[in-house]
Amino acid sequence: MTSPTIDNPLALDSQVCFALAIASRDVIGLYRPILEPLGLTHPQYLVLLALWDESPRTLKGLGQTLHLEPATLSPLLKRLEATGYVRRHRREADERTLDITLTDRGLDLRAVAETIPPRVVEALNLPLDDLLRLRDALHRVIAATS
């Protein structure tokens, strides 16, 4: 691997986008064998994380939290509803608003999900402080690009 230098700003290893893309793909890959027995994909897991923080949520609010368009989020929610983890329903007072609520099964899954972050930390085999600093830096990147 070549060291990034100011003399070669187009070196692959100099690109933040390359490092983020590879790290993202590889870290999400660590989740696959953990989530598969639960019948979940990584995007579905993110939806559940948001709902465990706050439920019910509107489709619009959930999309804003997850930085996903409704057209991307709707199929995820349909699959989560089919597995019995969430329920989608229109508000009586305003039929334009779609609320997403965890079912009892979705609420119960939280106890199992609490074992996931430590398993991922263990698989990464990096100091927790390093991971927390990385997470904070990535949140700054997200804020800068939003």
Domain that holds residue 70: 15-145
Q: Are 121 and 131 in contact (CB under 8 A)?
A: yes
1 located within any domain: no
Q: What is the mean pLDDT of residues 53-82?
A: 94
Closest CA relative to residue 61, chosen from 48, 50, 45 = 50
59 located within any domain: yes
What spatial distance separates the first Cα and last Cα of the chain, rounded to whole Å? 32
44 located within any domain: yes
Residue 65 has pLDDT above 80, yes or no: yes
Cβ neighbours of 34 (radius 10 Å)? 17
Say what the pLDDT of residue 129 is: 95
CATH of the domain at 28: 1.10.10.10
Most distant CA pair in the chain, distance: 62
8 located within any domain: no
Q: If pLDDT is split at 50, 70 and 90, which confidence band does 3 have?
A: low
Q: If pLDDT is split at 50, 70 and 90, which confidence band does 4 have?
A: low
Tens of pLDDT, residues 100-144: 999 999 999 999 999 999 999 999 999 999 999 999 999 999 999
The domain total for the chain is 1
101 located within any domain: yes
7 located within any domain: no
Which amino acid would we find at residue 128?
L
Q: If pLDDT is split at 50, 70 and 90, which confidence band does 98 have?
A: confident
Interhelix angle for 59-66 vs 70-82, to 10°?
A: 110
pTM as predicted: 0.88
Tell me the average pLDDT of the chain: 92
Q: Are 58 and 100 in contact (CB under 8 A)?
A: yes
